[in-house]
Structure 1
């Protein structure tokens, strides 16, 4: 009973005319969002209100109240959907008052209080249906704290907040539900999700798999490498680990199992690679847009900063897969297709990627970058018959865009409620003070606490909500400690992303478990091992910002090359059977190569490269050290 009340709702499946109607309405809504962002450009509060009310209208019809809800919407669902429309109509009718509204200056009128309260309840129910108990309970706790926290003793207590002021702040300003997360979800994120959906319906996901198979399939551990490469390419666009696992994992996991990989390892490779897509340029899912909007750092600088860490993260997974395959004698796939064969039929999908990169480098905003990419995709699709965007594909792509945004919009609105509550009560500054008090003068301990809090906040939550809540709670403490705005927010973003595969929740693992037919927690534990470099890297790029492409050309170059060598050593440490003293030596060498001090990093990098060349030529290390690691042929990394 309690599970039904607190759990997520059932995503309904429609067939025939109801499905066509749903997709048509969703496509019309998607076109409305495009028009609002490109041509109408109303104020941020109004566009956020209309976006959320429109999303809720469809959400309550397509997501049932519980997992046992019937296939057809119930009377209760219809009432909630109609209430969402009513709220949208009301807020649009008072758009003139909203433009001139001054928060807390006057008491809200009765109608504003009623409709604001209705929209608050709709937001809580939408959050519960789409994200489940985790975020919903957090929201309810913060709402209760806002209304009743004045009864608590100092320092946790705050001044009295009456219900009218509470609704005014949360529903009639951009400090609550319609804050940065919803504004970003209704603009950049929506448009890039639209690009990804249209790309998939044109055959882009199939092209990515074929290209990955051609590049890596025949090498040792080929199927697992295909999962790494294809999941990364798809994940940067989708920004959803669960969606990525369901899309690419349904192909890669069964192939890995057929060729002898344990189900646990097959599922772990898929979710580790899928999770990292949110950190991989040029799109980086939705959280990167929120980071750019929240911090004021340009999106171009965000993706440049993420490039080296993302490459190192995927290289570490790729090398672990390779080393394990060599050690266990895992064969590659028998495939006749080459990369040229894949490009011969799918070259049209390269065009929008080039457009994205060029538009970003030219300084266009993410909104226009997404539109340029989408228009170039649609135009290029007509150059080959197999990829042509027919009216049916367009309808399904646009409709799926809106339907994919339902859980994202619900999570972003809920995050806005929490942020508004933190702003009203000053709890964010109190939380930062408490963290600083525990950390004392230790910057390393502060980072550890920040990482733990970001992961805990992110358990069971979508990445955007996890990041923004972490940034609000921990960001002030990082700023007080002197960490730069870019490095501290990238730090929190990485851990918000990694929370998707971290036990005990590990949302992405459940999607992989259903395909791999293995226990989700076993998959998650193995995925954490594969993603170990991702948990370590954020500490290093806070220490050495050259890893975020912030420094001179020499500093960035040394950091990039040193990072490649360091990640190779770390992958060896994880996957080989070398002795513990040798592991300690490798870890020390990796740390030195990632150092911000060139006088330390460059000599160590030269030593490691010299040893690597010796190893490749002779099959062993100089001076007879590390004999137990010889079972791994690190020179055999051809793909």
Structure 2
């Protein structure tokens, strides 16, 4: 076997230990606190109860809809829980847990490094935080006693401003700023963050109080109590600060830009011009279902957290470990085995995981070192893992929760969306497989030895561990609700664990709920933050004006309009988790595509795919950067390599436009034809990009192969014939005409 000299590890023949891998252990973020003793127990119980509350609410309660009716979303006896209240508690709980667990900055190494002065300032800031909370409670008591609440009443306006709003903003802003400079040891609670926790509870208490009255209908009008706007400002600041801590600055910066646009848009020219909006009117609406409590939070409070709980149960029952070992046993012996294992394992785990970067860290810690051991360089090892983990977000039936958000936004049945995703997902992973295989062929790699791999026979005796996934898929396609199917799958994970050494008892189940509560913080924060952006788009009307711009471009060329939409979707998605990226892009780009006459399902899938692949698109490619951190390669080089490996994902969405059969829209013959044609095109595309077509390929022939690939991807009979002719010509050239010396001179 040939080896590389460029940053590859030596010792390829050394035993590779892949049995008893522990991919089910979550990495600890650098800014997550590690409590000890009673503090650790308090936080653990809080996280457990938070996740259990959602599972109970989704299965034992009913949530009344916006019109006042009751929607039974579970299958246990009902108890009414109002939708907005449920979502407010959902966000407030995540804020409280998030500020408790995640620090605003690095931790102090010792007690001497702690900033005691800021702790005392935080104690002072706690007083206005408690005042605002007490005021919100007193408002609730007044309303309960029959006081008519009216935003025009001078007394009420004074009390809401000076007893609730101003103390809340002082505590919120002061707590955030103090937390940036306060240093505390990693095992201790942070005083400024406890202030923010109280502020989060005060915001939730006030909003539940006010939205429980007729004042909900006054949002955006002069009758809206000023407390609504002040609470929304504080709530938005808390959401953005937590998002910064758990997901970085990218989404926060975009949110700030959109918020600035609200108040300067009337000065801007062209399609960016928006009507003048007062701060009180805007903020009285942004913390409603038009913004923060809208589609993104609707999905995070139901489907996303449900599947996070499911993933935590899979983790506790060690099913994730089984998935990876099964992948090694089945694909490890083929050339470049660990890379193909990465495709299988990362795709499967990424389907459940809500973030590409998170999945890279979870599975890449195992697969990337093994890829380096068999001969892939650091850059390629990280790129393969990043591309495979990103593909998990488009893998049905869960699609990293993207399918549920799409169903929520479009109203298209979930099953229809899941079916439509099958062919594009297969094509994406076929492309990565071909790219990986051709890379291994160029490098002369072998597969791993049998003694380096888990025994397939042993794993087949544990095939029942796939049961939770099978139950989930079967229940969904049998017509069960998503919540019921997810709950059954979660319960089955606990049941099958009793057939393994890792039996889930009460303690393990509690630990799984605790893990789910902690895992959910990041995605809830980014969904709420994305809700701010969605609110700006909705309330300023910029989405409709963007649609007009696309219509204008379509007058010149529909392909140009699609290309422009692609660029906007990728830019909006850079630096954001998939769910938030799609939610924002769907609000800005998808309506414009629908106005072009593109079917709604096609338009949203087009946007969704580019929001997903933004995770491997330079210059801001979070999945690639996470993989580079594990592989030790240059992040930018890794992102470019992952972009190359996932190149098919940038072509497939355009196929939706030219052939709706790609999304299962058509006869079975049309669907089969477009799938076979596209798969052949993907093969030619990978051959041209990698420079391998039954052997090394000359540079001019690579260009010909790529042209043939694009012809076959178009999906027409004439273009298929052209692509087939190109493939035959390339094969003949490879086997009959060009001399080996020419191939060497023409290859990379």
Q: Partner of 1:505: helix, strand, or coil? A: coil
Deviation at residue 225 of structure 1 after TM alignment:
0.9
Deviation at residue 527 of structure 1 after TM alignment:
0.7
Task: Give the Cα separation in 2 of the matches to 1:240 and 1:514.
Answer: 16
Task: Give the Cα separation in 2 of the matches to 1:197 and 1:412.
Answer: 20
Tell me how many residue pairs correspond in the alignment: 615
Are the counterparts in 1 of residues 292 and 531 from structure 2 also a CA contact under 8 Å? yes
Task: Give the Cα separation in 1 of the matches to 2:434 and 2:40.
Answer: 44
Are the counterparts in 2 of residues 555 and 598 from structure 1 also a CA contact under 8 Å? no
Which residue number in structure 1 is paired with residue 286 of structure 2? 170
What do the CA deviations read for 1:11-53 (whole angstroms, capped 9, x no partner)? 3233444333322211111111112222222333222111001
What do the CA deviations read for 1:491-550 (whole angstroms, capped 9, x no partner)? 111111111111112112222122211111111111111111111111112211111111
Task: Give the Cα separation in 2 of the matches to 1:145 and 1:304.
Answer: 39
Task: Give the Cα separation in 1 of the matches to 2:34 and 2:387.
Answer: 29
- Which deviates further from its counterpart, 592-601 or 293-302? 592-601
What do the CA deviations read for 1:80-108 (whole angstroms, capped 9, x no partner)? 01111222233333453169634335522
| Change in CA separation of 1:177 and 1:321 when aligned onto 2, cut-off 3 Å | same
Task: Give the Cα separation in 1 of the matches to 2:232 and 2:221.
Answer: 17
Tell me whether 1:624 sits opposite 2:743 in the alignment. no
Counterpart among 386, 389, 405 of residue 271 in structure 1: 386
Which residue number in structure 2 is paired with residue 56 of structure 1? 95
Which residue number in structure 2 is paired with residue 87 of structure 1? 203
Correspondences of 1:489-638 after superposition (within 5 Å): 489-575=604-690, 576=692, 577-598=696-717, 600-601=719-720, 603=721, 624=736
Which residue number in structure 1 is paired with residue 71 of structure 2? none
Deviation at residue 477 of structure 1 after TM alignment:
1.8
- Which deviates further from its counterpart, 62-71 or 525-534? 62-71
Unaligned runs of 5+ in 2: 1-28, 64-80, 108-182
Counterpart among 344, 350, 358 of residue 229 in structure 1: 344
Task: Give the Cα separation in 2 of the matches to 1:418 and 1:78.
Answer: 27
Which residue number in structure 1 is paired with residue 444 of structure 2? 329
- Which deviates further from its counterpart, 216-225 or 87-96? 87-96
Which residue number in structure 1 is paired with residue 464 of structure 2? 348
Are the counterparts in 2 of residues 279 and 494 from structure 1 also a CA contact under 8 Å? yes
Q: TM-score, normalised by structure 2?
A: 0.78
Deviation at residue 574 of structure 1 after TM alignment:
1.7
What do the CA deviations read for 1:558-614 (whole angstroms, capped 9, x no partner)? 11222222211111112224234433443343334333434654x5687689899xx
Are the counterparts in 2 of residues 348 and 381 from structure 1 also a CA contact under 8 Å? no
Correspondences of 1:61-76 after superposition (within 5 Å): 61-68=100-107, 69-70=183-184, 71=186, 72-76=188-192
Which residue number in structure 2 is paired with residue 260 of structure 1? 375
Q: Partner of 1:411: helix, strand, or coil? A: helix
Task: Give the Cα separation in 1 of the matches to 2:341 and 2:645.
Answer: 15
| Change in CA separation of 1:363 and 1:621 when aligned onto 2, cut-off 3 Å | farther
Which residue number in structure 1 is paired with residue 480 of structure 2? 364
Task: Give the Cα separation in 2 of the matches to 1:386 and 1:24.
Answer: 26
Task: Give the Cα separation in 1 of the matches to 2:678 and 2:738.
Answer: 22
Deviation at residue 253 of structure 1 after TM alignment:
1.0
Are the counterparts in 2 of residues 147 and 162 from structure 1 also a CA contact under 8 Å? yes
Task: Give the Cα separation in 1 of the matches to 2:332 and 2:585.
Answer: 39
Q: TM-score, normalised by structure 1?
A: 0.90
Task: Give the Cα separation in 1 of the matches to 2:30 and 2:276.
Answer: 35
Are the counterparts in 2 of residues 562 and 605 from structure 1 also a CA contact under 8 Å? no
Are the counterparts in 1 of residues 230 and 283 from structure 2 also a CA contact under 8 Å? no
Which residue number in structure 2 is paired with residue 30 of structure 1? 51
- Which deviates further from its counterpart, 39-48 or 525-534? 39-48
Q: Partner of 2:342: helix, strand, or coil? A: helix
What do the CA deviations read for 1:190-219 (whole angstroms, capped 9, x no partner)? 101111121022111211111111111011
Deviation at residue 629 of structure 1 after TM alignment:
12
Which residue number in structure 2 is paired with residue 145 of structure 1? 261
Q: Partner of 1:101: helix, strand, or coil? A: helix
Deviation at residue 263 of structure 1 after TM alignment:
0.9
Unaligned runs of 5+ in 1: 1-7, 633-639
- Which deviates further from its counterpart, 369-378 or 53-62? 369-378
Are the counterparts in 2 of residues 257 and 266 from structure 1 also a CA contact under 8 Å? yes
Tell me whether 1:473 sits opposite 2:588 in the alignment. yes
